């Protein structure tokens, strides 16, 4: 386009990785059309390298297609949802990560603990079967109902009895995972997506804060956790939160929230691969 001029960006273009030419307003969006986006990105990466700059609408994006480079790239959504990268999935390798992994392996997901939650799984499986039986002859979305049952099992294992905000929490977690993991038009105009993510995160944070406070109150007024089967996952994590817990390692309230959200995410990912 002859005589076309562009506003000078506030950053130096020399600091950006190489990338294909860009159009005004839409940037490189036209180069992702006509095929699956990840296939187009693969083809562009072959030409411009494992670290490539694209303009997606109003977003200046760096595309990483190398495992080595990917280890270094921070993800804003993950930073928000993981309470500043303090969950298992995004915590940097070190003593904190090792201790957290140890807690998950020996405490949260031990064979005895998982077996202790068997009555919950069986009850929710029976609830699902009965729900399907009542709708004999009617179309149902089985995938959606299995997801809902998975969320309910995870929620009961994590929090014990159903909280008054149980349904709100499950809805907020579903929407959070959908917003954070999906790729849609909002990704190239991120102000809307980020606001949605922050709003949903505040909702899940508020509910978990109430649940943790309720658990603390119950633990202060009763002998909690005589056996693993009586403890939910919040009870287990609170043992590492209390003063004088006898462990060399302690968790903050935000650390506990991060781990609980990680467990919900892992449950959903497991269902997606079944």
Residue 210: which pLDDT band, with cuts at 50, 70 and 90?
very high
Per-residue model confidence (pLDDT) at position 269: 54
10 Å CB burial of residue 188 (0-12, 13-18, 19+) is buried
Q: Considering only the top CATH level, what class is 76-272?
A: mainly alpha
Over 80: is that where the pLDDT of 112 sits?
A: yes
Residue 273: which pLDDT band, with cuts at 50, 70 and 90?
very low
Over 50: is that where the pLDDT of 6 sits?
A: no
Per-residue model confidence (pLDDT) at position 76: 67
> Per this entry, what is the length of the chain?
274
Most confident of 143-157, 167-181, 190-204: 143-157
Decide which of 272 and 177 is more confident.
177
Q: How far apart are CA 185 and CA 12, in angstroms?
A: 27
> Could you count the other beta carbons within 10 Å of the beta carbon of residue 117?
18
Q: How far apart are CA 259 and CA 91, in angstroms?
A: 11
Per-residue model confidence (pLDDT) at position 225: 46
Most confident of 58-67, 73-82, 120-129, 166-175: 120-129
Q: Where are the domains of the chain?
A: 13-70, 76-272
pLDDT above 70 as % of the chain: 79
Mean pLDDT value of segment 226-232: 63
CB 86 within 8 A of CB 93: no
Q: Which residues contact 242 (CB under 8 A, 6 or more apart)?
A: 219
Helix 118-133 with 142-159: angle, nearest 10 deg: 150
- Over residues 182-195, the pLDDT tens digits come to 555 555 555 666 77
Q: How far apart are CA 168 and CA 43, in angstroms?
A: 42
What does pTM read for this prediction? 0.69
Per-residue model confidence (pLDDT) at position 61: 82
Q: How far apart are CA 145 and CA 272, in angstroms?
A: 13
Q: How far apart are CA 26 and CA 103, in angstroms?
A: 47
Per-residue model confidence (pLDDT) at position 88: 87
Decide which of 10 and 52 is more confident.
52
Per-residue model confidence (pLDDT) at position 166: 84
Per-residue model confidence (pLDDT) at position 10: 45
- Over residues 31-53, the pLDDT tens digits come to 888 778 888 888 998 999 888 88
Q: How far apart are CA 86 and CA 209, in angstroms?
A: 16
> Could you count the other beta carbons within 10 Å of the beta carbon of residue 8?
8
Decide which of 123 and 78 is more confident.
123
Q: How far apart are CA 268 and CA 148, in angstroms?
A: 10
């Amino acid at each position: 386009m002859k005589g076309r001029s562009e506003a000078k960006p506030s950053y130096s273009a020399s600091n950006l990785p190489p990338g294909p030419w860009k159009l005004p307003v839409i940037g490189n969006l036209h180069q992702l059309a006509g095929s699956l986006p990840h296939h187009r990105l693969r083809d562009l990466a072959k030409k411009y390298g494992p670290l490539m700059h694209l303009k997606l609408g109003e977003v200046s994006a760096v595309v990483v297609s190398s495992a080595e480079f990917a280890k270094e790239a921070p993800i804003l959504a993950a930073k928000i949802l993981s309470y500043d990268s303090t969950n298992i999935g995004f915590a940097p390798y070190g003593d904190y990560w090792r201790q957290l992994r140890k807690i998950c392996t020996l405490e949260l997901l031990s064979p005895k603990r998982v077996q202790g939650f068997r009555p919950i799984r069986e009850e929710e499986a029976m609830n699902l079967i009965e729900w399907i039986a009542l709708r004999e002859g009617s179309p149902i979305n089985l995938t959606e109902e299995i997801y809902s049952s998975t969320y309910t099992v995870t929620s009961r294992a994590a929090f014990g009895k159903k909280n008054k905000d149980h349904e709100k929490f499950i809805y907020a977690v579903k929407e959070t995972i959908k917003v954070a993991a999906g790729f849609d038009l909002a990704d190239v105009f991120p102000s809307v997506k980020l606001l949605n993510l922050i709003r949903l995160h505040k909702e899940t944070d508020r509910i978990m804060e109430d649940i943790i406070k309720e658990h603390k109150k119950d633990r202060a007024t009763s002998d909690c956790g005589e056996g693993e089967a009586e403890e939910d996952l919040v009870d287990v994590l609170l043992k590492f939160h209390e003063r004088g817990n006898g462990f060399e390692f302690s968790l903050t309230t935000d650390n506990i929230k991060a781990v609980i959200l990680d467990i919900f995410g892992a449950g959903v990912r497991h269902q997606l691969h079944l």
